[in-house]
Amino acid sequence: MLIQSLFGLRSRRALVRDTYLEALKSTRDFMKVAELRSLEVWREHSVVLRNCFRLQDLLSEQRANRFEFLLKSRSFDCALFKSLDEIDQRLDKDWDTAEEGALKECNPHYRDICQEIGEIQSKWDSESLTAPLNAVEKDPQYRTARLALADRVQELQSRIAPG
């Protein structure tokens, strides 16, 4: 019985880990489509849009690095999480300065990601994105991709939801 229980926990950990990584990949794939469609719909704002999507890509990469770091540190039991949002919460709002310092210390690439995020955010003008992003929301190809992502995330969420 104990062996079955441990095997089930190990399987749950792998399921949650793999599902979360799939969700990150699906989101990144969608963001590529969103960027292409945005640049097609609103070419005159290409610099602002490219910065916006670069920031989104960096934030996703940052989250993936944090996730991998916690998995390797063994202080993180992903089997306990019941939703993708709970994992995101842990990696964003519940991420602490000690973890940040340790990850930057052992991972120069992560340090570079954080530096580039800071550089983009220091020049951030969210008002300049309102019109271009509203325009892309009306693009049929973008809407199709967004709906496909929502379906995919729902499918992945159902894999790890209790029940």
Please give the share of the chain, as a percent, with pLDDT higher than 90. Answer: 63
The 10s digit of each residue's pLDDT in 50-88 is 999 999 999 999 999 999 999 888 777 787 889 999 999
Reading the block at residue 108, the tokens are 């120069």
pLDDT tens across 108-139, in order? 999 999 999 999 999 888 888 888 888 889 99
pLDDT on residue 10: 57
Please count the CA atoms within 13 angstroms of the CA of 24 that sit on its side-chain side: 21
Tokens representing 42 are 């609103």
pTM of this prediction?
0.86
Per the model's pLDDT, the better-predicted residue between 117 and 8 turns out to be 117
- Average pLDDT estimate for 30-40: 93
Segments making up each domain of the chain, as ranges: 2-160
Output the pLDDT for position 2.
40
pLDDT value, residue 104: 97
